[in-house]
Amino acid sequence: MSIASMTIWEADFYRRPLQDASGHPLWELIICDSGKTFTTFAFCPQSEANSAWITTQLQRLANAKGLPEQIYVFRPQAISLLQVACQPLGIKVEATRRTPALKQVLQDRSLHYPTLPNAVNQPYNPVELEKPPPLPLPENLWGDQWRFAAIAASDLVPAFQTRPIPILEIPNFLNPIQLGLPSTASVPGIVIDGGRRSMPLARWLQQVKPFALTYFPGDPDGLILEAGLVDRWVLTTFDDPDVIAAAITFRERQQTAKGLHFLLVQPDNSGMTYSGFWLLQSDLGLSV
């Protein structure tokens, strides 16, 4: 079954800035589909916040909506509970940051909570996650050299989708056409010539699930790989003025390309063989 034909929901189960009559936090299960054609909410007292309660809610929802093949979850604290809850129903749970519909619902709900009589006056960001400090890329994986690059939006997907690349990640929703980018827009990227470490690096990247590449100014400047749900890796650091100028251009192009960018790993710059290609989108291009 292709992803396009699968029924996929996005879900979150976590504490909200609300409390019950006893002063204990209220939990809430929020479920929607990617098109937000349906959204459902259910509050849960902290004493009942467990996988069995979630399973019951899903079973009730099944009577009206059926059940999906897969549920996307972005919050690390909710993953295990939802996995256990979904197991008896045969639903696969996938951990992914890419839950734009759900995050928009959470943002909208956060405006509603303060109007409720049981609201708790405290800072609250419904989609912010605590992120660990970035770790250095394992030394045994780093390749020979790297560089910034850019490809016209119209050429980006055709240049790679038909090539025999062992690891190829080009989600349809990140196709420049789907994002409404002009054909002449420059989509930035990072190219790594991995040499003999090219395939080990590509396999490691596939394992950690790349999400986005971010330029950060500092002392020194550098590139951060956002991966998994909250993982962060330092790909490289630099203090050369020319590289810094290229990094600033990379970030500006990300902004004009709705966050779209790419990561290419290849043995060398001959253009003959590739090890891995990922089409990515940073939060620069997302509303949440």
Closest CA to 29 of 8, 3, 60, 7: 60
pLDDT for the residue 112: 95
Distances (CA, A) of 280 to 39, 98, 190: 27, 11, 11
pLDDT at 2 over 60: no
Q: Report percent pLDDT > 90 for the chain.
A: 82
Q: How far apart are the first and last CA of the chain?
A: 29
- What interhelical angle do 76-86 and 51-65 show, nearest 10? 70
Say what the pLDDT of residue 209 is.
94
Q: Cα dist. 99→42, 189, 287 in Å? A: 19, 23, 11
Q: Are strands 39-45 and 25-33 parallel, antiparallel or unpaired?
A: antiparallel
Residue where the block lists tokens 């396999």: 203
At residue 287, the pLDDT reads 39
What the block records as the tokens of 30 is 């929020």
List C-alpha distances in Å: 235 to 39, 151, 181, 280.
39, 21, 28, 15
Quick: pLDDT tens for 136-164. Answer: 988 888 878 999 999 999 999 999 988 89
User: CA 22: distance to chain centroid?
Assistant: 37
Rounded distance between C-alpha atoms, residue 165 and residue 148, angstroms? 20
- What was the pLDDT predicted at 140? 82
Predicted TM-score of the model (pTM): 0.85
Contacts of 270 (CB under 8 A, 6+ apart): none
Contact 104, 77 (CB under 8 A): no
Residue 288 confidence (pLDDT): 37
Gap between the Cα atoms of 235 and 62, Å rounded: 44
Q: What tokens were used for 118? A: 């049981």
pLDDT at 5: 62
Binned at pLDDT 50, 70 and 90, residue 271 comes out as confident
Q: Exposure string (b/e) for 114-132, b if CB count within 10 Å is 16 or more? A: eeeeeebeeeeebbeeeee
Q: Who has greater pLDDT, 212 or 272?
A: 212
Residue found under tokens 């025999």: 164
- Name the residue type at position 120: V
How far from 52 is each of 69, 143, 181, 184, CA to CA, in Å? 19, 47, 45, 52
- Ordered by where they begin, the domains of the chain are 3-115 (3.30.420.10), 135-285 (no CATH)
Query: Contact at 8 Å (CB) between 55 and 85?
Result: yes
- Which helix (H) or strand (E) is 223 found in, with range? strand 221-227
